[in-house]
Amino acid sequence: MLRVDVEKKLGEFSLSASFESEGRVTGLFGASGAGKSSLINMIAGLLRPDRGTIIIDGDVVDDTAAGIHVPTWRRRIGYVFQDARLFPHLNVAQNLDYGRRMNRLAADPAQHTRVVELLDIGALLDRRPGKLSGGERQRVALGRALLSKPRLLLLDEPLGALDEARKLEILPYLVRLRDEANVPMVYVSHDVAELRQLATQIVMLRQGRVTSFGGVKVLT
């Protein structure tokens, strides 16, 4: 479960959003500049709210009144960025293993195999990120985030940098992820079709405010 109630001023722009979601995939929908990325970065802890609270899984990660701000690296979240952000000095296998090493988790070959198969990246393990296509990079980024065993997976327009064909290539993986990976997700997008396929709940943002909240039907 995710509970967000935050306010943040960023220059001229002010964000004030409050929602609570039990959904498997919470879609943050809105035009660019609506505050989607700021909101997801606050959930990730990369941005600090001016006022408010964020609760992930019953765990208070931000509470400005109580002076609580859990740093990003202790939030146990996974984050898939639009631009993948794979580590260029590590090969795919090492990228996948990074989160497990940083969190000092025991090796989990079964999960590793499952994620690698789910995302079809077994053939890429020895390659460097520079030698991957955009779609492959994004699949590896998904795997890397999943293998750090997050309790919440954040996806910030993960298909945004890809062309139509590549989007269609990745989308089925995201659907499988939603149905099989058992990790709740927050999915940022300005693409209605994408969210219709993936999201179970929608938070609609407009100029820094939540305008509607509910099932996928609010997208019409």
Partner 1 sequence: MLDISPAEWTAILLSLRVAVIATLVATPFGIALAWLLARKDFWGKSMLDAVVHLPLVLPPVVTGYLLLLTFGRRGLAGAFLADHLGIVFAFRWTGAALACGVMSFPLLVRPMRLSIEAIDRRLEQAAETLGAAPFKVFFTVTLPLALPGVLAGMVLGFAKAIGEFGATITFVSNIPGETQTISSAIYSLIQTPDGDTAAGRLVMISVGLAIGALIAAEWFARRATQRLHGN
Q: Which residues contribute to the site for partner 1 (CB under 8 A)?
A: 44, 46, 71-74, 76-79, 81, 83, 85-89, 98-99, 102-103, 128-131, 144-145, 148, 154
Report the nearest approach of partner 1 to the CB of residue 78 (Å). Answer: 7
Q: Sheet of 209-214: strands edge to edge?
A: 68-69, 59-63, 51-56, 2-10, 13-21, 209-214, 201-206, 25-29, 185-189, 152-156, 77-80
Instruction: Kindly state the smallest distance separating residue 212's Cβ from partner 1, in Å.
Output: 29
Shortest Cβ distance from residue 213 to partner 1 (Å)?
A: 26
HEC string of 97-165 equals: HHHHHHCCCCCCHHHHHHHHHHHCCHHHCCCCHHHCCHHHHHHHHHHHHHHCCCCEEEEECCCCCCCHH
In the bound state with partner 1, the residue whose beta carbon lies nearer, of 145 and 204, is 145
Q: Which residue lies nearer to partner 1 by CB, 89 or 217?
A: 89
In the complex, the smallest distance separating the C-beta of residue 211 from partner 1, rounded to whole angstroms, is: 28
DSSP H stretches of helix in 45-102: 92-102
Residue 27 or 150: which CB sits closer to partner 1? 150
Smaller CB distance to partner 1: residue 26 or 204?
26
